[in-house]
Amino acid sequence: MSIREIKKFNDFLLYQKTKPVEKVTAEIETLIRDMKDTIMVNKGIGLAANQIGVPLKAIILDLESRNREGDILPGSKGNRFLVLFNPKIITRRGKQIIEEGCLSFPGIYLKIRRSRWVKVTGMNEKGKLLDIEAEGILATVFQHEIDHLEGKVFIDRLPLWKRWKIWRQIRRILIKTDKIQDSDR
């Protein structure tokens, strides 16, 4: 079991585009295991590789995870995890607003507007190409994680004035945290 540190909102890696996964190698298999361990320990719904410092196009969804309302995600034929390399949204429809959180922005939950239904393509951990249709919370999770791979975070989906307000809150939290750490020294 190898749990990796989740990069927080102030890490430059979260804002960089990731590179494609060419094939599933031993290193990639280790990455998958580490992502599974990391998402379980942190009780996340989805995780992108760059959130743990690996700039590759890889995401994992924990299909047994529960959202904040306690709803379990729709499962995938008995498999707990869904791993996709080089995922892309090829079609989207409808609109919905769902409250989202992010492991890289602990304690921050925001209502974000996204597509209600998406069709995603990508390669699974066996190297097979898949097309997946998702709606509701699962569609949101796909969109959220694929955004990470493009160097975008969920705050980027807000209007400019809301983004500014959130970043001010984050700065205040950082200042308080720094003062607490300074007083401990």
List, by residue number, the catalytic residues: 145
Residue among 90, 108, 109, 87 nearest 98 (CA): 109
The token duo for 152 is: 């975008």
Say if residues 60 and 75 touch (Cβ distance below 8 Å): no
Say if residues 149 and 52 touch (Cβ distance below 8 Å): no
Sort strands 58-62 and 105-114 into parallel, antiparallel or unpaired.
Answer: unpaired
Q: How many CA atoms lie within 13 A of 127 on its CB side?
A: 7
Residue among 35, 91, 68, 88 nearest 137 (CA): 68
The whole-angstrom separation of Cα 138 and Cα 94 is 14
